[in-house]
Amino acid sequence: MEVGERIQSIMKKRGYTQSQLAEAAKISQSGISTIISGASSPSAVTLKAIAMALNCSVAELFGENGVSFIPVVRASVPILGNIACSPQTIPDMNPDGYADLPEGVHADFALRCNGDSMQPMFEDGDLVLIRKQPEVENGQVAAIGINGETTLKHVYKQTGSLLLLANNAKYTPIQTKPNDDIVIYGLAVGYVRMW
C-alpha cells in the first residue's frame, strides 16, 4: 500500500474528508488530493503536518505501526557506545561492555538508545542490536551516519536522498540532501531492555 492509500485509509478510520484533513493540516485540498492519488510525493514537512492532523506518527503513514523485534536473552556482542534517537556523534568503536543475544539472532554490535524519538519501539536506555550491512529495505530501522552524526530511524529511499522517520509523532522527519555524507552502519535486528 502506498503512502496516499495509507493516508486515505487512516482518514476513513478517523472519519475525515479530504477538505477536513486539508484544513487540519493547513494544506490545500488539491495538495491533499494529489498526495492521496499518488500524483505527487509529500515532503517531510507535509508528512509531519498530515500525521499531526490524523493523530498518528509519520511512520504509520508508511505502514510502520507494528514492527516486531526480538527481545534478547543470551550470547553477546560488544556495546560500542550510544546512539541518539535523534542525531549525535558517530558511535565510539571501543566496546564499553557486552550485550547478551538469544540463540539464532545474528548481530555484530549493540548501541545504547538515548532519547524518545523511537518510542514505543525502543525506549531510552535500550540496547539496540545492529547487524552490519551497507543497505536496508524501505521501512526498516537502521543506525545511520549523516555528516558525522548518527541516528536510529526508519529508512525510506527517495530519488537522490533518504527520508528518515522517527516512531514518535512529535519528531519531524529528516530529509537528507544529495551532497550529505551518509553511512548505513547496519540494520536493527533486536534489543535488550535494561529495566
Alpha-carbon span 190 to 173, nearest angstrom? 23
Q: Which cell goes with 142?
A: 537502521
Task: Find the catalytic residue in 28, 153, 157, 177.
Answer: 153
Place of cell 505527487: 40
pLDDT at 104: 66
Residue 33 among the catalytic residues: no
Alpha-carbon span 95 to 81, nearest angstrom? 7
Alpha-carbon span 111 to 132, nearest angstrom? 12
Question: Helix or strand or coil: residue 53?
Answer: helix
Alpha-carbon span 111 to 125, nearest angstrom? 9
Architecture of the 70-192 domain? Ribbon (2.10)
- Give the residue from 172, 164, 158 showing the smallest Cα distance to 145: 164
Q: Which cell goes with 26?
A: 493547513
Q: CA 137 → CA 59, 140, 177, 182, distances in Å?
A: 14, 6, 19, 16
Q: What is the CB neighbour count within 10 angstroms for residue 156?
A: 23
Place of cell 557506545: 81
Is the alpha carbon torsion for 91, 135, 49, 123 positive or negative? negative
Residue 117 among the catalytic residues: yes
Q: What is the pLDDT tens value at each position of the chain, 195 positions in all?
A: 588 888 888 898 888 899 999 998 898 988 889 888 887 777 777 888 888 888 887 878 877 554 445 444 445 666 766 666 544 444 555 666 777 665 667 888 888 888 888 888 888 888 888 889 889 998 899 999 888 888 999 999 888 889 998 888 888 888 999 889 999 999 998 887 765
Residue 143 · residue 186 · CB < 8 Å: yes
Question: Helix or strand or coil: residue 127?
Answer: strand
Fold (topology level) of 3-56: 434 Repressor (Amino-terminal Domain) (1.10.260)
Task: Find the catalytic residue in 117, 132, 157, 170.
Answer: 117
Annotated domain spans of the chain: 3-56, 70-192
